[in-house]
């Protein structure tokens, strides 16, 4: 009887939450992670791949290439573009600062580029280190699908659905617009303008093009939510005119 007891005590069972096979897998995994410390090139490649994946689907730094959005955004600013902002049924709202692909609305010609140069530029742009593609634009949404946008009222202000828009973000000294227009924005489209109206090529400049200067919602890359660089200009970008305009009609 005593022998039986001793044999039982000498036969410890595996921990209930971790079998031998699971423990060995974890050990191999940690060993591989530790091994990466001695392979800096591999580690760098993995980090770069992760950042590019994040940039492609979640959020991308965007280098501001022109003065068309001053003083809100200045040349050389890096903004964080939220690519999930409009992925789940939400659409751009009046006042949003958006980055979009202007192909077919603002750009109607093929942009020739050496494939290698294009790949390097695209990689740099995805990291916020290089200028974006020439077809990418950053503008503010003034009118959404169904809105009646006109310029200008007797005080020189843009009106949306009969309501004057208070544009506190305009570049000092700029008029809301020196170009008159009267448009009902088609459903699924956006009327966009730069904050520095005197230096912005925007929906006003493409009134005679297909689409009448409007940008398809499905061409919007994302919403610019945050200035990340330089540090002295770090701040969020709000939408100051969502309720300034009246109901559509």
Overall size of the chain counted in residues: 249
Alpha-carbon torsion angle 194, 223, 58, 87, nearest 10: -130
Of the candidates 115, 117, 93, 25, the one whose C-alpha atom is nearest the C-alpha of residue 241 is: 93
What span, in angstroms and rounded, lies between the C-alpha atoms of 242 and 94? 5
What span, in angstroms and rounded, lies between the C-alpha atoms of 143 and 219? 16
What span, in angstroms and rounded, lies between the C-alpha atoms of 175 and 157? 8
What span, in angstroms and rounded, lies between the C-alpha atoms of 128 and 132? 8
What span, in angstroms and rounded, lies between the C-alpha atoms of 53 and 59? 9
What span, in angstroms and rounded, lies between the C-alpha atoms of 84 and 67? 26
What span, in angstroms and rounded, lies between the C-alpha atoms of 31 and 92? 47
Q: How far is CA 173 from the centre of its chain?
A: 29
Is residue 68 annotated as a catalytic residue, yes or no?
A: yes
Catalytic residue among 55, 68, 200, 203: 68
Of the candidates 248, 182, 192, the one whose C-alpha atom is nearest the C-alpha of residue 215 is: 192
Catalytic residue among 55, 83, 139, 200: 139
Residue 186 is given by DSSP the state: P
Are 124 and 142 in contact, with CB atoms under 8 Å apart? no
What span, in angstroms and rounded, lies between the C-alpha atoms of 115 and 135? 16
Active site residues: 68, 139
């Amino acid at each position: 009887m005593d022998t039986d007891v001793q044999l039982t005590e000498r036969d410890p069972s595996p921990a209930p939450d971790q079998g031998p096979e699971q423990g060995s897998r974890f050990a191999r995994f940690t060993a591989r992670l530790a091994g990466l410390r001695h392979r800096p090139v591999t580690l760098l490649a993995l980090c770069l791949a992760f950042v590019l994946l994040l940039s492609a689907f979640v959020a991308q730094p965007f280098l501001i290439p022109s003065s068309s959005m001053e003083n809100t955004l200045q040349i050389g600013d890096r903004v964080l573009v939220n690519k999930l902002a409009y992925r789940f049924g939400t659409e751009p709202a009046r006042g949003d600062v958006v980055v979009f692909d202007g192909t077919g609305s603002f750009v109607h010609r093929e942009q020739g580029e050496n494939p290698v140069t294009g790949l390097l530029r695209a990689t740099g742009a995805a990291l916020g280190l290089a200028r974006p593609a020439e077809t990418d634009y950053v503008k503010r949404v003034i009118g959404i699908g169904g809105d009646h946008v006109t310029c200008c009222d007797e005080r020189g202000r843009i009106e949306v659905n009969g309501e004057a828009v208070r544009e506190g973000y305009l570049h000092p000294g700029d008029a809301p617009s020196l170009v008159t227009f009267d448009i009902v924005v088609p459903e699924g489209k956006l009327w966009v303008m730069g904050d520095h109206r005197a230096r912005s090529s925007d929906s006003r400049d493409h009134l005679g093009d297909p689409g009448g200067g409007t940008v398809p919602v499905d061409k919007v890359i994302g919403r610019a939510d945050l200035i990340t660089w330089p540090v002295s200009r770090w701040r969020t970008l709000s939408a100051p005119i969502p309720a300034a305009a009246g109901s559509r009609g």
